[in-house]
A and B are shown apart, each in its own frame.
Chain A
Amino acid sequence: MAPTAPRRILGCLQVAAMLVAVLAPLAWMVLSSFKVSRDVMALPPRLIFTPTLDNYRELFLRTDFLHNTWNSLVVAAGATLLGLALGAPAAFAISWHRITWPATLTLFARMAPGTLFLLPWFILFSQVDLVGTYTVLILTHGAITVPVALWTLLPYFDALPRALIESAQMDGCRPHAILMRIALPLVAPGLVVAAILCFVFTWNYFLFALALSGFDTKTAIVASFNFIGEGVTNWGALMAAATMIALPPLVLALLVQRQLVSGLSSGAVKG
């Protein structure tokens, strides 16, 4: 039964309301980043203005933001690799042997507030003089990426036909070869989704980097947070920083949009 005309209009209006509610703040952020400070705070808002790159120039030339972004990249990439390297084999074994306890263990460990881990980490890593290094940032963000990689990959491994692995076993294939040559290539789409989620969640997470990064390893998120703390009154520059750090996760999310939506329905995808 086709919906009647008024119903369709009502439906369109609801979708439009949703899109405006989601997009308006983002549009405001991006627009402000191209305004001179006088225009940012102008009320009524100036929708027509001469765009300027001053804010971005200030951000990249007058602060360490470029270096901070590089740090974010190193930490997120490192933690992603760590998550996949540990999570993928574990997910394969858990799926194949139907052992649920390691997966449950990671899930329960993730329920504790991040602040709980910080204090022991700080004490322990101070003793080996690692606080402020990439190593410690990558390791601690592994607490996010290992569970995420493991839980994201489980359904992909579950969907592998058992006969395929069994026949490889019959042929005398070694376990690590089965994983590397057969199982992993077959779940390649899952690996991409897992990698993107690990990267985004590490990039976005700021508590661990806030407490454990040093001057040289400060991430872009922590640097932006410090801009607020320093009472930066240049809102244009603040919005330029916000735009820059929001960009990578949004672009990556676009790439896996389809898998994200279907993954959410099973509740499998969550940082």
Chain B
Amino acid sequence: MSTIASPAVTIAPERARRGQHKISFSWMVWPAVAFVVLMMVFPLVYAAWISLQDASLGTEPRFVGLDNYLNLASDPEFLNAFGVTWLLYGVALTMQLVLGTWLGIVLNGVKTARHLVRTIAITPFMMPPVVVGMLAIVILDPSVGIVNWLLGTVGVGPLLWLASPRWVLLSVALVDTWQWAPFVGLIVLGGLQSLPASVFEAAEVDGVIGWRRFVYVTLPLLGPTLLTAAVLRSVDLLRFFDLVFIATRGGPGNASTTMNMYAYQQGFEFSRFGHASAAMLTLSLVVLCTVMVFARLRRALSY
């Protein structure tokens, strides 16, 4: 990620001078660039074009300018999806960063069976989302799920989890956190290991240990690392789709209909192509802006 922020590297003058008899490899980027332009940039532009039209199944497309975007702003379903997306984003990102930081510190302290422990930490996020969704359905089932039974033995519940409009977002956030907190944990682990040991030794000499060391030394030094993790998770969380599509279908009602889910339903279930494209482009813009904000924060934080 840091590569986005780094300015284009200028070619040293002496290398340019020596370069006359050299052959260039730059043509080697063209097949990949051509592929990305044809398969991704062109569809993006095409979707932008559709978003300016009143295009639905069976009707002649009609140019309507920004009408689709204006309609989005007054569509209560879209506004609901907008709110759901940000609420889920806030809850899940917070849980994943907090748990991830804890996991990173725990993993950093593991001395025995280090590789085994790290391998286990990798497993959740290498699993197909469909499998995670299936597991969530089975484990969180209100009547015969194991989680409610376990809670029942300590006198809690039964909770409706994915079936309750009130708890569905928290349930989805919890499942996503199970899958992705270890990912954040491994990033934090990498960050911790790149920190100079001398800082921690100095802190110890000064008597800064335990919680105070964590708050005043470790956390500030981890800032850039946590931001990297936050950016990576943000891109996925704002586009949240797989898990709700598989496990809740956006429901109950529209309680877990994220922006991406809304756009998918509008496009592929109601065939409102123009409207759906406008929603998807709005979402892309939201993702882009968020990443930009983080990139700026990261620049401000690096020393």
Contact = CB atoms under 8 A, between A and B. Distances in A.
B28 A106 contact: no
Contacts of A26: 123
B119 A254 contact: yes
A191 B27 CA distance: 21
B186 A150 contact: no
B43 A116 contact: yes
- Chain B interface main SS type: helix
Given A93-B25, A94-B29, A103-B3, A267 B232 contact: yes
A62 interface: no
B66 interface: no
Among A139, A140, A166, A261, the one with the most B-chain Cβ atoms within 10 Å of its Cβ is A261
B28 A175 contact: yes
Nearest to A121: B43
Interface stretch (A49-57, A63-71, A126-134, A242-250): A242-250
A164 B246 CA distance: 50
A107 B144 CA distance: 43
Interface size class of B (residues with CB under 8 A): 35 or more
Interface in A16-73: 18-19, 21-23, 25-26, 28-29, 32, 41, 43-45
Interface residues of A, number: 100
Interface in B144-188: 144, 146, 149, 178, 182-183, 186-187
Nearest to A178: B25
Contacts of B43: 116-117, 119-121, 124
A113 B8 contact: no
B199 to A, nearest CB: 16
A147 B103 CA distance: 29
Interface in A135-183: 139-140, 142-143, 146-147, 150, 154, 166, 169, 174-175, 178-179
- Chain A interface main SS type: helix
B242 interface: yes
A1 B50 contact: no
Contacts of A239: 134, 138
B291 A111 contact: yes
Interface in A216-269: 221, 224-225, 228, 235, 238-239, 241-242, 245-246, 249-250, 252-254, 257-258, 260-262, 264-267
For the complex of A and B, 7 pairs with smallest distance between CB atoms = A265-B190, A90-B32, A120-B43, A89-B28, A93-B28, A109-B40, A204-B128
Given A15-B109, A121-B43, 12 more contacts: A21-B178, A22-B121, A22-B124, A45-B149, A99-B26, A100-B8, A115-B260, A115-B263, A116-B43, A235-B138, A242-B135, A253-B126
7 contacts: A102-B29, A111-B235, A116-B47, A139-B39, A143-B39, A204-B128, A249-B127
